Structure 1
Protein backbone atom coordinates (compact mmCIF):
# COMPACT_ATOMS: atom_id res chain seq x y z
CA UNK A 1 0.00 0.00 0.00
CA UNK A 2 1.33 3.42 -0.95
CA UNK A 3 1.58 6.03 1.79
CA UNK A 4 1.14 9.49 0.33
CA UNK A 5 1.77 13.03 1.44
CA UNK A 6 0.37 16.15 -0.21
CA UNK A 7 2.76 18.89 -1.35
CA UNK A 8 1.24 21.25 1.24
CA UNK A 9 1.77 18.73 4.05
CA UNK A 10 5.36 18.13 2.92
CA UNK A 11 5.94 21.90 3.06
CA UNK A 12 4.55 21.99 6.61
CA UNK A 13 6.90 19.16 7.65
CA UNK A 14 9.88 21.06 6.25
CA UNK A 15 8.77 24.41 7.73
CA UNK A 16 8.26 22.90 11.19
CA UNK A 17 11.84 21.59 11.22
CA UNK A 18 10.68 18.00 11.27
CA UNK A 19 13.34 15.54 10.16
CA UNK A 20 12.40 14.74 6.56
CA UNK A 21 14.60 13.72 3.64
CA UNK A 22 13.17 14.60 0.23
CA UNK A 23 14.45 12.11 -2.36
CA UNK A 24 13.89 13.13 -5.98
CA UNK A 25 13.91 9.86 -7.93
CA UNK A 26 13.71 11.37 -11.44
CA UNK A 27 16.44 11.47 -14.09
CA UNK A 28 19.45 13.73 -13.78
CA UNK A 29 18.13 16.04 -16.51
CA UNK A 30 14.75 16.37 -14.78
CA UNK A 31 16.41 17.07 -11.43
CA UNK A 32 18.73 19.66 -13.01
CA UNK A 33 15.75 21.42 -14.61
CA UNK A 34 13.88 21.82 -11.30
CA UNK A 35 13.78 20.29 -7.86
CA UNK A 36 12.63 21.01 -4.33
CA UNK A 37 15.21 23.10 -2.48
CA UNK A 38 17.20 20.73 -0.26
CA UNK A 39 16.11 17.57 -2.10
CA UNK A 40 18.57 14.75 -2.73
CA UNK A 41 18.85 13.34 -6.24
CA UNK A 42 18.55 9.56 -5.90
CA UNK A 43 17.37 8.01 -9.20
CA UNK A 44 14.80 5.25 -8.84
CA UNK A 45 17.14 2.59 -10.25
CA UNK A 46 19.76 3.50 -7.65
CA UNK A 47 17.14 3.11 -4.91
CA UNK A 48 16.08 -0.27 -6.32
CA UNK A 49 19.67 -1.53 -6.63
CA UNK A 50 20.87 -0.26 -3.22
CA UNK A 51 17.73 -0.05 -1.08
CA UNK A 52 19.36 -1.61 1.99
CA UNK A 53 22.24 0.88 2.03
CA UNK A 54 19.99 3.87 1.34
CA UNK A 55 17.42 2.77 3.94
CA UNK A 56 20.20 2.44 6.53
CA UNK A 57 21.34 6.03 5.80
CA UNK A 58 17.86 7.51 6.24
CA UNK A 59 16.30 8.68 9.48
CA UNK A 60 12.98 10.36 10.11
CA UNK A 61 10.42 10.74 7.38
CA UNK A 62 11.27 10.24 3.71
CA UNK A 63 9.36 11.99 0.93
CA UNK A 64 9.78 10.51 -2.55
CA UNK A 65 8.95 12.65 -5.57
CA UNK A 66 8.91 12.19 -9.33
CA UNK A 67 6.74 13.45 -12.18
CA UNK A 68 3.75 11.09 -12.07
CA UNK A 69 4.21 9.08 -8.88
CA UNK A 70 5.15 5.85 -10.65
CA UNK A 71 8.90 6.07 -10.00
CA UNK A 72 8.34 7.34 -6.46
CA UNK A 73 6.02 4.38 -5.80
CA UNK A 74 8.69 1.97 -7.10
CA UNK A 75 11.26 3.61 -4.83
CA UNK A 76 8.87 3.35 -1.88
CA UNK A 77 8.36 -0.37 -2.57
CA UNK A 78 12.14 -0.90 -2.62
CA UNK A 79 12.69 1.02 0.61
CA UNK A 80 9.76 -0.73 2.26
CA UNK A 81 11.23 -4.12 1.33
CA UNK A 82 14.48 -2.93 2.95
CA UNK A 83 12.67 -2.14 6.20
CA UNK A 84 11.79 1.55 5.84
CA UNK A 85 8.23 2.15 6.98
CA UNK A 86 8.26 5.95 7.00
CA UNK A 87 8.60 6.67 3.25
CA UNK A 88 5.84 8.69 1.60
CA UNK A 89 5.11 9.31 -2.08
CA UNK A 90 4.46 12.99 -2.74
CA UNK A 91 0.98 13.18 -4.29
CA UNK A 92 1.96 15.82 -6.82
CA UNK A 93 4.88 17.32 -8.68
CA UNK A 94 7.64 19.81 -7.95
CA UNK A 95 5.36 22.45 -9.50
CA UNK A 96 2.58 21.45 -7.07
CA UNK A 97 5.02 21.84 -4.17
CA UNK A 98 5.91 25.32 -5.45
CA UNK A 99 2.20 26.22 -5.73
CA UNK A 100 1.85 25.21 -2.07
CA UNK A 101 4.50 27.83 -1.24
CA UNK A 102 7.54 25.57 -1.17
CA UNK A 103 10.99 26.63 -2.38
CA UNK A 104 12.07 25.22 -5.74
CA UNK A 105 15.45 25.42 -7.47
CA UNK A 106 15.28 25.96 -11.25
CA UNK A 107 18.13 25.12 -13.60
CA UNK A 108 18.49 24.29 -17.27
CA UNK A 109 15.25 23.84 -19.18
CA UNK A 110 15.25 20.38 -20.72
CA UNK A 111 11.87 18.86 -21.43
CA UNK A 112 10.76 16.35 -18.84
CA UNK A 113 11.21 12.75 -19.98
CA UNK A 114 7.48 12.03 -20.11
CA UNK A 115 7.02 15.04 -22.41
CA UNK A 116 9.84 13.83 -24.67
CA UNK A 117 8.26 10.36 -24.84
CA UNK A 118 4.85 11.84 -25.73
CA UNK A 119 6.41 13.97 -28.49
CA UNK A 120 8.34 11.09 -30.08
CA UNK A 121 5.50 8.57 -29.72
CA UNK A 122 2.92 10.99 -31.11
CA UNK A 123 5.18 11.95 -34.02
CA UNK A 124 5.83 8.30 -34.89
CA UNK A 125 2.09 7.52 -34.83
CA UNK A 126 1.34 10.48 -37.13
CA UNK A 127 4.17 9.53 -39.50
CA UNK A 128 3.12 5.88 -39.52
CA UNK A 129 -0.49 6.81 -40.27
CA UNK A 130 0.40 9.30 -43.00
CA UNK A 131 3.03 7.00 -44.48
CA UNK A 132 0.56 4.11 -44.42
CA UNK A 133 -1.95 6.21 -46.35
CA UNK A 134 0.37 7.98 -48.78
CA UNK A 135 3.33 5.61 -49.29
CA UNK A 136 2.68 2.01 -48.27
CA UNK A 137 0.08 0.38 -46.03
CA UNK A 138 2.93 -1.48 -44.31
CA UNK A 139 4.05 1.79 -42.70
CA UNK A 140 0.97 1.61 -40.49
CA UNK A 141 2.88 -1.03 -38.56
CA UNK A 142 4.97 1.82 -37.12
CA UNK A 143 1.84 3.21 -35.43
CA UNK A 144 0.87 -0.25 -34.21
CA UNK A 145 4.36 -0.83 -32.84
CA UNK A 146 4.31 2.45 -30.93
CA UNK A 147 0.87 1.64 -29.51
CA UNK A 148 2.04 -1.81 -28.43
CA UNK A 149 5.15 -0.29 -26.86
CA UNK A 150 3.07 2.21 -24.89
CA UNK A 151 0.72 -0.54 -23.69
CA UNK A 152 3.69 -2.65 -22.58
CA UNK A 153 5.18 0.41 -20.88
CA UNK A 154 2.02 0.82 -18.81
CA UNK A 155 1.81 -2.89 -17.94
CA UNK A 156 5.47 -3.27 -16.99
CA UNK A 157 5.91 0.20 -15.46
CA UNK A 158 9.04 0.64 -17.58
CA UNK A 159 9.67 2.67 -20.71
CA UNK A 160 12.09 1.56 -23.41
CA UNK A 161 11.60 4.83 -25.30
CA UNK A 162 12.55 6.85 -22.21
CA UNK A 163 15.67 4.70 -21.81
CA UNK A 164 16.68 5.46 -25.40
CA UNK A 165 15.84 9.17 -25.09
CA UNK A 166 17.86 9.45 -21.88
CA UNK A 167 20.96 8.67 -23.96
CA UNK A 168 20.35 11.54 -26.38
CA UNK A 169 22.84 14.45 -26.29
CA UNK A 170 20.34 16.97 -24.91
CA UNK A 171 19.77 14.70 -21.90
CA UNK A 172 23.48 14.20 -21.19
CA UNK A 173 24.25 17.47 -19.41
CA UNK A 174 23.52 16.14 -15.94
CA UNK A 175 24.79 12.81 -14.63
CA UNK A 176 23.17 10.46 -12.14
CA UNK A 177 25.01 10.30 -8.82
CA UNK A 178 26.83 7.18 -7.70
CA UNK A 179 25.71 5.11 -4.74
CA UNK A 180 28.69 6.35 -2.73
CA UNK A 181 27.91 10.01 -3.51
CA UNK A 182 24.28 9.56 -2.43
CA UNK A 183 25.25 7.79 0.80
CA UNK A 184 27.80 10.52 1.57
CA UNK A 185 25.17 13.24 1.06
CA UNK A 186 22.65 11.42 3.23
CA UNK A 187 25.23 10.91 5.96
CA UNK A 188 26.10 14.65 5.94
CA UNK A 189 22.53 15.82 6.49
Structure 2
Protein backbone atom coordinates (compact mmCIF):
# COMPACT_ATOMS: atom_id res chain seq x y z
CA UNK A 1 0.00 0.00 0.00
CA UNK A 2 1.38 3.39 -0.97
CA UNK A 3 1.32 5.95 1.85
CA UNK A 4 1.25 9.74 1.46
CA UNK A 5 4.38 11.71 2.27
CA UNK A 6 2.59 13.72 4.96
CA UNK A 7 0.64 11.65 7.48
CA UNK A 8 -1.88 12.79 10.05
CA UNK A 9 -1.64 11.48 13.60
CA UNK A 10 -4.53 9.07 12.93
CA UNK A 11 -2.91 7.74 9.74
CA UNK A 12 0.48 7.32 11.43
CA UNK A 13 -1.03 5.61 14.49
CA UNK A 14 -2.91 3.13 12.30
CA UNK A 15 0.22 2.41 10.23
CA UNK A 16 2.34 1.81 13.32
CA UNK A 17 -0.05 -0.99 14.26
CA UNK A 18 0.28 -2.73 10.87
CA UNK A 19 2.69 -5.50 9.95
CA UNK A 20 4.47 -3.15 7.52
CA UNK A 21 5.05 -0.48 10.19
CA UNK A 22 7.75 2.05 9.35
CA UNK A 23 10.96 2.75 11.22
CA UNK A 24 10.27 5.80 13.39
CA UNK A 25 13.04 8.41 13.48
CA UNK A 26 12.55 11.18 16.03
CA UNK A 27 14.67 14.07 14.78
CA UNK A 28 14.36 16.27 17.88
CA UNK A 29 17.28 16.97 20.18
CA UNK A 30 18.34 14.20 22.58
CA UNK A 31 17.06 16.28 25.50
CA UNK A 32 13.60 16.65 23.91
CA UNK A 33 13.55 12.93 23.05
CA UNK A 34 14.45 12.05 26.63
CA UNK A 35 11.28 13.70 27.92
CA UNK A 36 8.79 11.75 25.81
CA UNK A 37 8.67 9.99 22.46
CA UNK A 38 6.72 7.47 20.42
CA UNK A 39 7.40 3.96 21.66
CA UNK A 40 10.10 2.30 19.58
CA UNK A 41 11.33 5.54 18.00
CA UNK A 42 15.02 6.00 17.36
CA UNK A 43 16.50 9.41 18.16
CA UNK A 44 18.39 10.79 15.16
CA UNK A 45 18.65 14.58 15.62
CA UNK A 46 18.25 16.63 12.46
CA UNK A 47 21.71 18.18 12.95
CA UNK A 48 23.20 14.66 12.82
CA UNK A 49 21.26 14.01 9.61
CA UNK A 50 22.56 17.32 8.21
CA UNK A 51 26.12 16.08 8.71
CA UNK A 52 25.65 12.44 7.68
CA UNK A 53 22.46 12.04 5.63
CA UNK A 54 23.94 9.63 3.07
CA UNK A 55 25.49 7.37 5.70
CA UNK A 56 22.33 7.27 7.83
CA UNK A 57 20.02 6.94 4.81
CA UNK A 58 22.01 4.01 3.44
CA UNK A 59 21.16 2.07 6.61
CA UNK A 60 17.41 2.68 6.38
CA UNK A 61 15.45 -0.22 4.99
CA UNK A 62 11.75 0.00 4.26
CA UNK A 63 9.51 2.96 5.02
CA UNK A 64 10.53 5.70 7.46
CA UNK A 65 8.31 7.93 9.61
CA UNK A 66 10.04 11.18 10.62
CA UNK A 67 8.85 12.91 13.78
CA UNK A 68 9.70 16.16 15.55
CA UNK A 69 7.79 18.53 17.83
CA UNK A 70 5.67 20.08 15.07
CA UNK A 71 6.87 18.87 11.65
CA UNK A 72 9.35 21.51 10.50
CA UNK A 73 12.49 19.56 11.44
CA UNK A 74 10.91 16.31 10.19
CA UNK A 75 10.30 17.89 6.78
CA UNK A 76 13.92 19.10 6.75
CA UNK A 77 15.13 15.59 7.62
CA UNK A 78 12.95 14.11 4.86
CA UNK A 79 14.48 16.55 2.37
CA UNK A 80 18.02 15.67 3.50
CA UNK A 81 17.40 11.91 3.36
CA UNK A 82 15.48 11.93 0.05
CA UNK A 83 18.56 11.46 -2.18
CA UNK A 84 19.30 8.20 -0.34
CA UNK A 85 15.86 6.84 0.61
CA UNK A 86 13.74 8.33 -2.17
CA UNK A 87 10.00 8.33 -1.53
CA UNK A 88 10.21 6.09 1.53
CA UNK A 89 10.33 9.08 3.89
CA UNK A 90 7.07 10.16 5.56
CA UNK A 91 6.43 13.04 7.97
CA UNK A 92 4.09 13.05 10.97
CA UNK A 93 2.22 16.32 10.40
CA UNK A 94 1.81 18.18 13.67
CA UNK A 95 4.51 16.00 15.23
CA UNK A 96 4.60 15.18 18.91
CA UNK A 97 2.43 18.20 19.64
CA UNK A 98 -0.53 16.70 17.79
CA UNK A 99 0.35 13.18 18.97
CA UNK A 100 0.18 14.33 22.61
CA UNK A 101 -3.00 16.34 22.02
CA UNK A 102 -4.64 13.21 20.60
CA UNK A 103 -3.77 11.40 23.84
CA UNK A 104 -1.81 8.69 22.05
CA UNK A 105 0.64 6.52 23.98
CA UNK A 106 4.20 7.72 24.49
CA UNK A 107 7.27 6.38 26.14
CA UNK A 108 8.17 8.58 29.09
CA UNK A 109 11.83 9.28 29.67
CA UNK A 110 13.47 10.64 32.76
CA UNK A 111 12.47 14.12 31.70
CA UNK A 112 14.41 16.80 29.99
CA UNK A 113 14.48 20.51 29.45
CA UNK A 114 11.61 22.46 27.99
CA UNK A 115 10.75 22.01 24.35
CA UNK A 116 13.00 24.11 22.10
CA UNK A 117 10.20 26.45 21.00
CA UNK A 118 9.38 27.19 24.64
CA UNK A 119 13.05 27.90 25.36
CA UNK A 120 13.21 30.29 22.38
CA UNK A 121 10.05 32.12 23.45
CA UNK A 122 11.36 32.47 27.01
CA UNK A 123 14.79 33.75 26.03
CA UNK A 124 13.42 36.10 23.34
CA UNK A 125 10.83 37.49 25.76
CA UNK A 126 13.40 37.95 28.52
CA UNK A 127 15.81 39.75 26.17
CA UNK A 128 13.08 41.99 24.77
CA UNK A 129 11.85 42.88 28.27
CA UNK A 130 15.43 43.50 29.41
CA UNK A 131 15.96 45.86 26.47
CA UNK A 132 12.82 47.84 27.28
CA UNK A 133 13.59 48.08 31.00
CA UNK A 134 17.24 48.95 30.41
CA UNK A 135 16.24 51.65 27.92
CA UNK A 136 14.73 53.67 30.79
CA UNK A 137 18.29 54.16 32.04
CA UNK A 138 20.30 53.74 28.84
CA UNK A 139 18.17 54.75 25.83
CA UNK A 140 20.28 52.81 23.33
CA UNK A 141 19.30 49.56 25.07
CA UNK A 142 16.02 49.73 23.12
CA UNK A 143 17.97 48.33 20.17
CA UNK A 144 18.28 45.02 22.00
CA UNK A 145 14.49 44.70 21.89
CA UNK A 146 14.48 45.85 18.26
CA UNK A 147 17.11 43.25 17.38
CA UNK A 148 15.12 40.47 19.05
CA UNK A 149 11.99 41.60 17.20
CA UNK A 150 13.84 41.63 13.88
CA UNK A 151 15.27 38.18 14.62
CA UNK A 152 11.81 36.80 15.38
CA UNK A 153 10.41 38.35 12.21
CA UNK A 154 13.21 36.81 10.15
CA UNK A 155 12.68 33.44 11.88
CA UNK A 156 9.00 33.52 11.01
CA UNK A 157 9.52 34.55 7.40
CA UNK A 158 12.37 32.13 6.71
CA UNK A 159 11.12 29.26 8.89
CA UNK A 160 14.56 29.04 10.49
CA UNK A 161 15.65 29.94 13.98
CA UNK A 162 19.19 30.97 14.82
CA UNK A 163 18.35 31.24 18.51
CA UNK A 164 17.30 27.56 18.63
CA UNK A 165 20.63 26.61 17.05
CA UNK A 166 22.42 28.48 19.84
CA UNK A 167 20.18 27.05 22.57
CA UNK A 168 20.72 23.50 21.29
CA UNK A 169 24.39 23.91 22.26
CA UNK A 170 23.64 24.96 25.85
CA UNK A 171 24.68 22.53 28.60
CA UNK A 172 21.11 21.78 29.74
CA UNK A 173 20.30 20.61 26.20
CA UNK A 174 23.27 18.24 26.02
CA UNK A 175 23.24 14.60 26.98
CA UNK A 176 26.13 12.22 27.50
CA UNK A 177 24.31 9.56 25.51
CA UNK A 178 23.59 11.76 22.47
CA UNK A 179 23.29 9.75 19.25
CA UNK A 180 26.26 9.50 16.92
CA UNK A 181 26.39 8.22 13.36
CA UNK A 182 27.95 5.02 14.70
CA UNK A 183 25.29 4.45 17.37
CA UNK A 184 22.47 5.21 14.92
CA UNK A 185 23.77 2.91 12.19
CA UNK A 186 24.35 0.17 14.80
CA UNK A 187 20.76 0.48 16.09
CA UNK A 188 19.36 0.51 12.55
CA UNK A 189 21.36 -2.63 11.68
CA UNK A 190 20.12 -4.35 14.86
CA UNK A 191 16.55 -3.38 14.04
CA UNK A 192 16.83 -4.72 10.51
CA UNK A 193 18.29 -7.98 11.79
CA UNK A 194 15.40 -8.48 14.25
CA UNK A 195 12.75 -8.21 11.50
TM-score relative to the length of structure 2: 0.86
Two-structure CA RMSD over aligned residues (Å): 2.0
State whether structure 2 residue 65 is matched by structure 1 residue 81. Answer: no
- Kindly state the Cα deviation for residue 135 of structure 1 after the two structures are TM-superposed: 1.0
8 Å Cα contact 1:28/1:41 also seen in 2: yes
- Kindly state the Cα deviation for residue 187 of structure 1 after the two structures are TM-superposed: 1.0
- CA gap of 1:84–1:14, structure 2 versus 1, over 3 A, is same
Deviations 1:120-174 (A, max 9, x none): 0011111212222x21220110011112222333455443322322233322345
- Alpha-carbon distance in 1 for matches of 2:104, 2:88: 21
- CA gap of 1:17–1:172, structure 2 versus 1, over 3 A, is same
- Mean Cα deviation higher: 150-159 or 30-39: 150-159
Q: 2:163 aligns with which of 161, 164, 182?
A: 161
State whether structure 2 residue 19 is matched by structure 1 residue 17. Answer: yes
State whether structure 2 residue 128 is matched by structure 1 residue 129. Answer: no
State the match for 1:40 in structure 2: 42
Give 3-state SS (helix, strand or coil) of 2:19's partner.
Answer: coil
- Kindly state the Cα deviation for residue 175 of structure 1 after the two structures are TM-superposed: 4.1
- CA gap of 1:98–1:139, structure 2 versus 1, over 3 A, is closer
8 Å Cα contact 1:28/1:174 also seen in 2: no
Q: 1:119 aligns with which of 100, 119, 122?
A: 122
Aligned pair count?
187
State the match for 1:51 in structure 2: 53
Give 3-state SS (helix, strand or coil) of 1:145's partner.
Answer: helix
8 Å Cα contact 2:5/2:87 also seen in 1: no
Segments of 5+ residues of structure 1 without an aligned counterpart are none
State the match for 2:185 in structure 1: 183
8 Å Cα contact 1:21/1:62 also seen in 2: yes
TM-score relative to the length of structure 1: 0.89
State the match for 1:68 in structure 2: 70
- Alpha-carbon distance in 2 for matches of 1:124, 1:174: 29
Give 3-state SS (helix, strand or coil) of 1:111's partner.
Answer: coil
- CA gap of 1:19–1:156, structure 2 versus 1, over 3 A, is same
Segments of 5+ residues of structure 2 without an aligned counterpart are none
Give 3-state SS (helix, strand or coil) of 1:82's partner.
Answer: helix
